[in-house]
A and B are shown apart, each in its own frame.
Chain A
Amino acid sequence: MGHRGVVITAGFDKSEAATCLAELFKQNGIPVNGIMVVSPYSVLRIKYYLKKKGLSSITQSIRRLKGFQKNDSGNTPNHINQFRIEHQISIDSLKKWANINHCKIITVASLNSDQSIHFLESTDPQWLVYSGGGILKQPIIDQVDGQILNAHQGPLPEIRGMNAAEWSILLDKKQEVTIHLIDRGIDTGKIIKRLPYTIDKKDNIESIREKAIIKGVEGLIEVGSQDSLVRYDIQENHSQYRQCYTLSNAMRELLNAKLEYLKSRSADV
């Protein structure tokens, strides 16, 4: 049986990771059966951000949703831009990409909605490739028989949850992206592949995150291009490690200090 193609999720239309995934799957000859974009403008989502993170998070999100670069410092390379140039990816919108490539695309209020489940039913992918859009619940996991790939920006099982690239530095863990299956837990699904990366003297937090995104895209393209996982040494994951959350202001300051220190000590960290 051949590869049945992939469906990609995204948290917003201009998601850099998702556009890279769509284009690179195409370049690899893997059909992109569909794209599911979560509407960033749903009342629920705006209410959530207002309640949890305040008004400033809304303005920050709008900048990101509109595709403004976060890492525009003159001294630090923009790794994602370089990656896009290397792979000749010029398109910056999933809707445009889907239109040009005659690919099904839907905008949903939630990845867990009935609309999403019907979409997956009709597109019947080999893999649902997760590239943002919120936590997945059991019905959608069941719909694709758990065949959901995620690129987590830190080493599992030690660093699970949010800001994983940052926490890897703070907790003295390896810098690596973990490709794993998604299950009901937070980053607790089986581990498929690990992709280490290095930090160099020009990096800052944003550029490190970009490196992790690129590694994640590479890993998802490699694994998602297979029609099974037989070639991988699948490892059980464990959830006994404490879940990570977004860094507090104080911890972010500590992280920047640690990063400067590490960079001052060697070229590659």
Chain B
Amino acid sequence: MITDKLEKHLQLSIDWLIKSKQPSGGSSAYHAPLLGWIKPYPETTGYIIPTLIDYHHYAEDQLAIRTAVDFGEWLLSIQSGEGYWFAGQHPPKKQEPSVFNTGQILFGLISLYKETKDSKWLTSLDKATEWLCSSIDRNGYWKEGHYRGFNPTYYSRVAWPILLASTVLDNDTYRNKAILVLDTLIKKRNPNGTFSGWGFDEHGSAFTHTIAYTLRGFMESSILINDWESYGAKTERALQKFYTLSELNNGRLDGEYNEQYSGKKTYSCITGNFQIALCLMRWYEKNNDLRLMNSASKLIEYSVKCQTSTDSILSHKGAIPGSKPFWGRYMTLRYPNWSAKFCADALLLFLKLYKKESDRWDIEES
């Protein structure tokens, strides 16, 4: 059964994420041959937390929930007095606040609060969201705290957790600020459905990793505010394109695309493949077209084959590389923790939707 195989990949990913926990408390940014585990990464440690909590609910894995709480405790211990987290790995080389990293950590805090109802997560969440929202100018831009000096379109994935936080904190000011950001970013949409500035650089090609960040941020925000037309509908053209590209290439997307959808064919960004699969599955949940699941499952089936199953000089059991081939341009020769996170997220959602579709027909176990 393919679902049994996928469950094994899921467990391997989660086990690897748990192993990524460093003595200091955070999740190592990546594992690399010869170098081993690297310093922990606050941003991804934050958004790995909901993955571990979801897995705990799926498989009743106690270690997953304990690790999620440990990750959260570590993030509280390194939060700045103003509410933000620093850019990059921890401890940072330069002590600069980061909009994106702080935004991604909100996901973890929200999940931990929902899971434990402990107010300490809420206090930290409020402080971080307050910092994020107070830094947004009247045009919907952040003036500082960027990765490469500009407001990338994938900040839609910062607006999304701010909207989530606004619900948990019951704060309309946060909600309005998130919408202001989304209204600004959506203007970067090109007629062909791509977005300007959806990569790490303001112009040029973008990894599918940040393309998916952008699309998912708009989609989830639309779902949260119950207004698909404003943002979600505007991602459909790009989603349709990636649906087709995945189908035509049997689940392999190029690692990066420019604003005319011209791809860099020399490698595939495995992380991005899982993320695009997640976008297609979320779209499927919206419109119930099983064809989207077909495309998503091809992306997943192609990408899970890259998961390493043994420990050796070049491999690390359960790890997912950034690129295929391993020396591809995205996270070259490294196994990032966010690859395993998005792999686990994609598998958890796929298995849930697959079961839902099977249950619809009331299939009896043979």
Chain A residues at the B interface, C-beta cutoff of 8 Å: 52-53, 167, 170-171, 242-251, 253-254, 257-258, 260-262, 264
Taking a contact as CB atoms under 8 Å apart, the answer to whether A53 and B250 are in contact is: yes
Q: Label chain B's interface by main secondary structure.
A: helix
Q: How far is the CA of A254 from the CA of B360 in the complex (A)?
A: 11
Q: List 29 A-B contacts (CB under 8 A).
A: A52-B248, A171-B289, A242-B243, A242-B291, A244-B291, A245-B248, A245-B295, A247-B294, A248-B251, A248-B298, A248-B301, A249-B297, A249-B301, A250-B3, A250-B293, A250-B350, A251-B290, A251-B293, A251-B297, A254-B354, A254-B357, A257-B358, A257-B361, A257-B363, A258-B361, A258-B363, A260-B363, A261-B364, A264-B364
Asked if A243 and B354 make an inter-chain contact with CB atoms under 8 angstroms apart, the answer reads no
Measured CA separation A29–B354 after assembly (Å)? 51
8 smallest A-B Cβ distances: which pairs? A245-B247, A250-B297, A248-B297, A248-B298, A261-B361, A250-B2, A251-B294, A261-B363
- A contact face: mostly helix, strand, loop, or mixed: helix
Q: Known contacts A53-B250, A171-B290; is A253 also within 8 Å of B363 by CB? A: no
Q: Does B62 contact A (CB under 8 A)?
A: no
Chain A proximity of B172: nearest CB distance (Å) = 38
Chain B residues with CB under 8 A of A249: 2, 297, 301
For B363, the chain A residues whose CB sits under 8 A away are: 257-258, 260-261
Residues of B contacting A247 in the complex (Cβ-Cβ under 8 angstroms): 294
Q: Is B134 an interface residue (CB 8 A)?
A: no
Residue of A at shortest CB range from B366?
Answer: A260
Using Cβ atoms and an 8 Å threshold, which residues of chain A touch B293? 250-251
Q: Smallest distance from the beta carbon of A47 to chain B beta carbons, Å?
A: 14
Which chain B residues lie closer than 8 Å to A52 at the CB level?
248-250
Q: Are A253 and B291 in contact (CB under 8 A)?
A: no
Q: In the complex, A244→B289 CA distance in Å?
A: 11
Q: Which residues of A contact B243 (CB under 8 A)?
A: 242
Q: Which residues of B contact A246 (CB under 8 A)?
A: 247
Assess the B249–A254 pair: CB atoms within 8 A: no
B298 shortest CB reach to chain A, Å:
5
